């Protein structure tokens, strides 16, 4: 797809540069996504379409703290292992 991704056991759980260089995407469960969007709407938002409704979450990287991104990535990694 032209941007770096992060995988665990062959499953993508995060990417950089989507939809642009200032963003990333973290694959979360829909409930996890809703929690983060409510907590920090200036940083997290659902990706467009069905992908976003299923938990794909856009991250504004410059606005996010390391701790907040780390926690979201840990959730995404756990989700990838469960599947």
Q: Among candidates 4, 3, 18, 7, which has minimal Cα distance to 73?
A: 7
Q: What is the pLDDT of residue 64?
A: 94
pLDDT in single tens digits along all 83 residues of the chain: 577 899 998 889 999 998 889 999 999 999 999 999 999 999 999 999 999 999 999 999 999 999 999 999 999 999 998 86
Torsion of CA 76, 63, 39, 30, to 10 degrees: -30
pTM for the full model?
Answer: 0.90
Alpha-carbon span 46 to 7, nearest angstrom: 20
Q: Which residue has the tokens 């991250």?
A: 59
Neighbours of 66 (CB within 10 A): 7
Alpha-carbon span 44 to 28, nearest angstrom: 11
């Amino acid at each position: 797809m032209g941007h770096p991704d992060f995988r665990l056991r062959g499953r993508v759980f995060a990417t950089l540069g989507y939809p642009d260089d200032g963003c990333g995407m973290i694959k979360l469960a829909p409930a996890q996504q809703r929690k983060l969007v409510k907590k920090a709407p200036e940083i997290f938002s659902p990706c467009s379409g069905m992908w976003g409704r299923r938990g794909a979450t856009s991250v504004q990287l410059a606005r996010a703290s390391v701790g907040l991104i780390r926690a979201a990535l840990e959730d995404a990694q756990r989700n990838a292992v469960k599947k």
